[in-house]
Amino acid sequence: MDMKSLNGLNIKIYADGANLEQIKIFNNDPLINGFTTNPTLMKNQGIEDYEGFAKELLNIVNKKPISFEIFADESDQIIEQAKYISSWASNVYVKVPVTNTKGEFLGDAISKLSEDEVKLNITAGFTDKQVEKIINVLNKNTHNIISIFSGRIADAGIDPVKHFRSCLDLKNDSNLDFLWASPRELFNIFHAEEAGADIITISQDLIKKFEIIGKDLNLFSKETVEMFYNDALTAGYKLDINQ
């Protein structure tokens, strides 16, 4: 694998965020194949009108797939919200968490929505047992996504590549994509490619670093030294060596 370039990778790259101006830019970037967002990202951007923001976003992103998340906790409300969100546009995937806040598997809601051909992005997946349960209730005639939170799994001290592969081994449907979620660094793109992920969703801050990939390390070293030196100068730091 050529680690110096994103070109030629099999994995699809999605942009994860809720900044409209950045999304406008990324929507015209051929490297970006789709978009994801969630209530936390939207809250952090100061967004108060969930539906208004989503529909404004869909005026920009009207071809590439985009995932919006429900924010209910009971199955009947989850189903109601998911169907409504799905109706906004044909490129919409609805993010439904694998469990509710009580830790109860949302299999019934996922199954009913999938049977109704709602395109789903089942989110907050962490274990292979969860993945197996999800696969067992999904409608194979509808394209769906399972998001494995590999970054958080790595934070827990577990090899995310090995763990992702163990989840991917359960895949029995070509109409299902596995997504590497919550990456912590750019190199996670190559980890996800190595693991066999279909998609990785990348924060907008990490996407801004794409130009660093393949950078000459000697130049990178020199620039780092210059940064430390110049910051010390501008801060006015001094040592009283001759006191």
Active site residues: 95
Q: Which residues contact 161 (CB under 8 A, 6 or more apart)?
A: 191, 194, 195
**Which residue intervals of 87-170 are DSSP H helices?**
107-115, 128-137, 150-155, 160-168
Q: How many CB atoms lie within 10 A of CB 92?
A: 19
The SS3 call for residue 101 is: coil
Distances (CA, A) of 113 to 74, 96, 154: 14, 10, 31
Q: Which residues contact 158 (CB under 8 A, 6 or more apart)?
A: none
Distance between CA atoms of residues 136 and 193, nearest Å: 25
Q: Judge whether 223 and 206 are in contact, CB under 8 Å.
A: no
At position 11, the amino acid (one-letter code) is I
